[in-house]
Structure 1
Amino acid sequence: MGNFFVGEHYHKVDKKGRVSIPQTFRQVIQDGDPERGPDGPFRFYLNYGQHLRNQLRIYTYEAFFREVERIENLTDTDDRKLLRDVFIGQSRDLEVDKDGRTLLPKAQRDKLGIEEGELYFKGAGLFFEIWIKEVYEATRRKKIEVRLSMFDEDDDIMDLLDKR
């Protein structure tokens, strides 16, 4: 098993689109770039597909290529075409510079609806998500709260894993 993206972070994006990648996330990106140099830059993939609506997803180089391989091995041609369009076709490679920053492209900042301000970074295991802080609070966090309200206070949500 490799490193995973875990935790929550808040970072500001400036008018030029520069944003610092959280240190713990940078380490995962660095470890997931097989051709990295000792002093960077480290490469990663930004997925901005239509299916993501209000967020962007960041994959390490290795994780992205594993997903591409899974897509290419699909036998359902309609599913493969859709995933090629929204996962492969709506992704781009970027890099983290020596100062730990990346430049979010204008088109992807426009998708989020942000010129500058605070972004929310949420680890999700094999990838991490980037949201406008207020949009995450108003949408995804609300859905989590509603779902958690269905559990008794002494229930363990990890029991969901046993429902397979």
Structure 2
Amino acid sequence: LMLLSVYGLRCSEVIHLQLKDLDWGNEVLYLKRVKRSKPQVFPLTQTVGEAILRYIKEVRPNNCRLNHVFICRRSPYRPLSTSTVYRIVSIRLKPLELKLKHNGPHALRHGCATHLINEGISLKEISDHLGHQELETTRIYTRVDLTNLRKVAEFKLENLL
């Protein structure tokens, strides 16, 4: 969940994450973007790093020979499927009673983009962070939030008159 929300990863990028992609010594995460040919490097935040480490130590089966970080807990071991990740995210989001268009992993990616917008990060930086090749793709993520920001701005302006 944290990889989806903090880094805005796509579900498929989480599923394909390999143990070798985690550089604990340098505290970085190497990510092979689905829609880009070159890998992207992220700083491994303490919170995310601790969550992954806890998963590896407490949940991931020790006797599994797969290189994927996230795998099914029961034999035969295999990487998590898209539907499994979707189910996990949906179950975790449901109690929050958020009014979202979608409750799956992509909702967390949108949430990451919205958070970055609210922090004043430039559209170009957000685009790079999300691994978008085109700035227009990133604009799609911002439309809902910009609409809400516009409503707030108009409301406050009306109160000043």
TM-score with structure 1 setting the length: 0.28
Rg comparison, structure with higher value: 2
Structure with bigger strand share is: 1
TM-score with structure 2 setting the length: 0.29
